[in-house]
């Protein structure tokens, strides 16, 4: 039997996607918010597709704040924007 692929809900588009294909933002037990490239940090996580449209929606709605149940600084959103931009390169979102 194949293992079930873990899925998580994107805070932007609200769709369930494969965890591995997503970017995880974590609220550590110390109260620090980090973008978790390894996906293995302890803490409450929120997931987003590395997609500009998802990011824009999440930022507009402050969805990460809701997902992590804390206030997420704009600095984190900026860091996430850079990662999303780097990851979604080549999708031709019309520059």
> Which residues bind to Zn ion, rule: CB under 5 A?
10, 12-13, 49, 54
As given in the structure block, the two tokens for residue 40 are: 């293995």
Residue closer to Zn ion (CB basis): 42 or 89: 89
Residue closer to Zn ion (CB basis): 10 or 27: 10
What does the alpha-carbon distance between residue 95 and residue 92 come to, in Å, rounded to a whole number? 7
Min separation Cβ 34 and Zn ion, Å: 20
Residue closer to Zn ion (CB basis): 33 or 51: 51
Other beta carbons within 10 angstroms of residue 7's beta carbon come to 15
21 Cβ contact partners less than 8 Å away, ≥ 6 residues apart: 49, 50
Whose CB is nearest to Zn ion? 10
- Half-sphere exposure at residue 17, Cβ-oriented, CA atoms within 13 angstroms: 19
Min separation Cβ 31 and Zn ion, Å: 26
Min separation Cβ 84 and Zn ion, Å: 10
């Amino acid at each position: 039997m194949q293992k079930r692929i873990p899925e998580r809900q994107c805070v932007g588009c609200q769709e369930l996607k494969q965890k591995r294909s997503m970017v995880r933002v974590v609220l550590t037990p110390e109260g620090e918010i980090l973008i978790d490239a390894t996906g293995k940090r302890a803490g409450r996580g929120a997931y987003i597709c590395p997609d500009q449209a998802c990011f824009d929606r999440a930022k507009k709605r402050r969805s990460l704040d809701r997902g992590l149940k804390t206030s997420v600084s704009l600095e984190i959103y900026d860091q996430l924007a850079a990662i999303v931009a780097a990851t979604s390169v080549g999708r031709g979102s019309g520059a």
